[in-house]
Amino acid sequence: MYREHTVGVVVPAYNEEGFVGEVIETVPAFVDRIYVIDDGSTDDTWAEIQQAASRVNEHALVVDTHEVTSTDGGLAFDQRVVPIQHEENRGVGGAIKTGYQHSLEDEIDITAVMGGDGQMDPELLPRFLDPIVEGQADYTKGNRLLYKEYRHGMSSWRFLGNSVLTFLTKIASGYWKMMDPQNGYTAISRHALENVGIDELYEYYGYCNDLLVKLNAKGMRVADVAMPAQYGDEKSHIEYPTYIRKVSGMLLRNFLWRLKTRHLVLDFHPLALFYLFGAVAATFGTIGVSWSIYSWKRLENPLFVRIALSGLLFTTGSMFLMFAMLFDMQANEAREVQVYD
């Protein structure tokens, strides 16, 4: 246990032979459950998980028997590591969903996620747990972008892509202070896990962006935890053309769903109408400007009146969008926490 709270760690692994065993063995001793999910690997990841689980569980049983340090929450300490195997690859989000579901069944108080590739320092885990234990947040996530020195080792291409996705996720989720939404080092309270509809969690790599939107719709508090980027010899399984297309579409759908759910169904706030009017006006204004220029060039029609009216419509729409974003920031300001060094 950690500060009177039971803790579980979900470790998703797909072709992480040579990495996942060390991850399992270095999870802090205060963690009560380690749910290791082999997501249909084609190498010896499953065998490595079983071997590491056997060693860790045997050691935990000896400690529990001889030092009387079993948890107070009724958890069997000899089953500290719970190996789970997917027959088919479901994606990292699908693996994490499986871990979350087992954590809910075991009534774990806080559930963290640590990748099976060894990129996440287990010694940092208390920094993710403390805001939840102290009642400051319902969900914590890593942030590698806060300090320049923390971004050391992150390629310029990866930093650019992360920055773009950060901006898009700010809009979609409503957490405007949040950065580095792709960071998979996270922790979530049982209360949040029970209320965000985890069975509907997006199963592709954008699961973390999807979860942020669901958390906001339910009014949950999110904390960004500063942490350094850490890369090793592991290989990324992301196919970026497919990734960008899928995640961008998902963020657009989630943005519209959040506005409807939180600001029209569960409660009412005019920012949803500001977003709608602004988007429609800006779109028609853009079309009008383009048509005005085309008709002037090709059809020799007068330009000034048409382009002035279209420009005014575009400007009005843009202003409504800016006001909507401002309202969105104000509505969510109290639900964001920053955890520095």
Which of 208, 233, 258 is the C-terminal boundary of a domain? 258
126 lies in the same domain as 192: yes
DSSP-assigned letter for residue 72: T
165 lies in the same domain as 279: no
Does 273 reside within a domain?
A: yes
Give average pLDDT by consecutive 10-residue segment, the chain, 341 residues.
95 93 94 95 93 85 46 58 93 94 95 92 95 96 81 72 86 92 93 92 88 93 88 58 80 93 89 95 94 85 86 95 94 87 65
The structural domain count of the chain equals 2
Torsion-angle region of residue 159: left (phi > 0), alpha (psi -120 to 50) or beta?
alpha
pLDDT at 231: 61
pLDDT at 79: 82
300 lies in the same domain as 213: no
Q: Provide the Cα torsion 258, 160, 138, 84; round to 10°.
A: 100
247 lies in the same domain as 319: no
CA–CA separation, 293 and 283 (whole Å): 16
pLDDT at 145: 82
CATH number of the domain where residue 88 is located? 3.90.550.10
What SS3 class is residue 311? helix
Facing residues of 12 across strands?
A: 37
Does 274 reside within a domain?
A: yes
pLDDT at 59: 76
Which of 258, 279, 301 is the C-terminal boundary of a domain? 258
Find the domain containing 305 and state its range: 269-337
182 lies in the same domain as 279: no
Give the pLDDT confidence of 211-220 residue by residue, as tens digits. Answer: 999 999 999 9
Which of 258, 291, 322 is the C-terminal boundary of a domain? 258
pTM, entire model:
0.85
227 lies in the same domain as 292: no
pLDDT at 241: 66
CA–CA separation, 293 and 295 (whole Å): 6
72 lies in the same domain as 105: yes
CA–CA separation, 102 and 44 (whole Å): 24
320 lies in the same domain as 301: yes
pLDDT at 234: 54
pLDDT at 164: 84
pLDDT at 69: 38
253 lies in the same domain as 283: no
Does 298 reside within a domain?
A: yes
Give the pLDDT confidence of 144-185 residue by residue, as tens digits. Answer: 887 777 766 677 777 777 788 889 999 999 999 999 888 889
Does 75 reside within a domain?
A: yes
pLDDT at 70: 38
pLDDT at 99: 96
246-251-137 Cα angle (round to 5): 125
- Are the beta carbons of 24 and 114 closer than 8 angstroms? no
Q: Burial, 148: exposed, middle or buried (Cβ in 10 Å; 0-12, 13-18, 19+)?
A: exposed
3-state helix, strand, coil in the chain (%, to 5): 55, 15, 35
The encoded tokens of residue 51 equal 């071997």
